[in-house]
């Protein structure tokens, strides 16, 4: 695969790390204006760093866009004439809808919208995908790429904003919960490193248990909550303080914000 990542920032570099560590690429072009900031990636075999988006597009078959939404349109205009019909264009841009991309470059391109999260750097991204009509013919290719770097699902484009909240922002929500658990563990007497290890591994175990068993969370919770025990005492106190409610409200606020951004 000859891949270009246009906009090697937080997400673009996370994708790059995933592609490099899984040996998924033949060549990988990474672009940003301040290319000195990513020079160290040239140490990897077949990875090239440049501030020239046109060069990256000309040297690649799959173009992944990971710039900020406000930067995207001018970049599309800039590279538009270099795009050929075999290029597969994968956007990660929040709120930038496929019809808007088509209005700039035309609809006769394989266009895929993806919503990964930063765990893509360690092969654990939950990535949601949708495509334009032509892009549907390359959705299996996109799935193959992102399945190497985690898990994928295809969704209608109208659900992309919601998917952004749950999966892309979602990783930050889960990390805040891990941090809060760590703080609780420190208060109970563990040192910070031990506390974080315990919080992270317990979180990972909970997710793995649900993924592998296919259970509903409450089925597994029932196995943990001894009658009159400490787990139900803690859980009920968390719910009195609004744990589920605050998570749901946060998710809805995040969704309202993303809908404003996408307008
Ligand atoms: N961060 C995340 O977890 C997620 C982000 N997204 C989406 O991905 C996109 C990128 O987000 P994020 O990585 O956080 O943003 P960053 O700001 O970290 O990265 C954007 C990068 O684009 C580069 N850039 C800007 N203009 C150009 C240009 N003309 N040519 C080439 N590169 C350019 C910037 O570098 P320089 O200024 O040096 O050019 C910067 O490194 C956004 O649209 C975001 O909504 C989606 C899912 C998750
Ligand atoms: O916070 C944001 O707006 C972007 C989209 C999802 C992750 N980061």
What is the secondary structure of 199-254 as a DSSP string?
Answer: HHHHHHHHHHHHHHH---HHHHHHHH--TTSHHHHHHHHHHHTTHHHHHHHHHHHH
CB–CB of 116/15 below 8 Å?
yes
Residue 261: the pLDDT is 81
- Render pLDDT for 230-250 as a digit per residue (tens, 0 to 9): 999 999 999 999 999 999 999
CATH number of 2-155: 3.40.50.720
* CA dihedral (82, 83, 87, 90) positive or negative: positive
Helix (H) or strand (E) holding 180: helix 170-187
Return the residue whose CA atom lies nearest to atom 16 of ligand 1.
9
**CA 261 to ligand 2: nearest atom:** 3
Residue-level pLDDT at 262: 77
**In ligand 1, which atom is closest to the CA atom of 8?**
41
Q: How many CB atoms lie within 10 A of CB 66?
A: 26
Instruction: Output the CA–CA distances (angstroms, integers) from residue 242 to 218, 229, 250, 252, in the order listed.
Output: 17, 21, 12, 15
Ligand nearest to the CA of 70: 1
Candidates 53, 74, 49, 52; CA nearest to 64 is 53
The ligand 2 site (C-beta within 6 Å) comprises 94, 164, 168-169
Question: What is the per-residue pLDDT for 221?
Answer: 98
**CATH architecture entry for 164-262:** Orthogonal Bundle (1.10)
> What residues are designated binding site for NADP(+)?
6-11, 66-69
Q: How far apart are CA 199 and CA 152, in angstroms?
A: 26
CB of 107 closer than 8 Å to CB of 89: no
**How far from the centroid of its chain's Cα atoms is residue 185's Cα?**
29
Atom 2 of ligand 2, nearest CA residue: 169
Strand partners, 5: 30, 64
| CA–CA gap between residue 30 and residue 51 (Å, rounded) | 8
Residues whose beta carbon lies within 6 Å of some atom of ligand 1: 6-12, 31-34, 53, 66-69, 71, 75, 92-94, 115, 117-118, 168
CA of 9 to the centre of ligand 1 (A): 5
The pLDDT, as a whole number, for residue 263 is 74
- The predicted structure's pLDDT at residue 73: 97
Binding residues for NADPH, by number, are 53
Please give the full DSSP string across 75-118, using - where no structure is assigned. Answer: HHHHHGGG--TT-EEEE--TT--HHHHHHHH-SSSEEEEEE--G
Instruction: With a cut of 70, list the residues of the chain below it in pLDDT.
Output: none
pLDDT of residue 231: 98
Which listed ligand is nearest to 77 at the C-alpha? 1
Are 102 and 119 in contact by the 8 Å Cβ rule? The answer is: no
Q: What residue owns the CA closest to ligand 1's atom 4?
A: 11
> Where do the structural domains in the chain lie, given as residue ranges?
2-155, 164-262
């Amino acid at each position: 695969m000859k891949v270009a990542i246009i906009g090697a920032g937080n997400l673009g570099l996370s994708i790059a790390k995933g592609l490099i560590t899984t040996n998924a690429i033949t060549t990988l072009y990474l672009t940003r204006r301040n290319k000195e900031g990513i020079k160290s990636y040239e140490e990897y075999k077949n990875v090239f760093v440049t501030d020239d988006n046109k060069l990256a597009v000309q040297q690649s078959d799959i173009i992944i866009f990971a710039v900020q939404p406000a930067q995207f349109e001018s970049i599309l205009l800039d590279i538009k004439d270099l795009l050929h019909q075999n290029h597969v264009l994968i956007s990660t841009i929040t709120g930038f809808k496929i019809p808007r991309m088509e209005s700039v470059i035309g609809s006769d391109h394989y266009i895929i919208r993806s919503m990964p999260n930063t765990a893509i750097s360690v092969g654990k991204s939950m990535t949601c995908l949708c495509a334009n009509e032509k892009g549907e013919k390359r959705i299996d290719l996109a799935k193959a790429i992102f399945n190497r770097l985690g898990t994928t699902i295809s969704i209608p484009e109208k659900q992309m904003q919601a998917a952004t909240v749950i999966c892309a922002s979602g990783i930050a929500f889960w990390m805040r919960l891990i941090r809060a658990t760590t703080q609780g563990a420190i208060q109970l007497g563990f040192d910070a490193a031990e506390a974080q290890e315990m919080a992270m591994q317990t979180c990972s175990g909970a997710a793995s248990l649900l993924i592998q068993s296919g259970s509903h969370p409450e089925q597994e919770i029932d196995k943990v909550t001894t009658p009159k025990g400490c787990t139900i005492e803690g859980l009920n106190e968390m719910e009195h303080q609004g744990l589920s409610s605050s998570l749901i409200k946060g998710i809805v606020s995040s969704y309202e914000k993303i809908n404003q951004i996408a307008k």
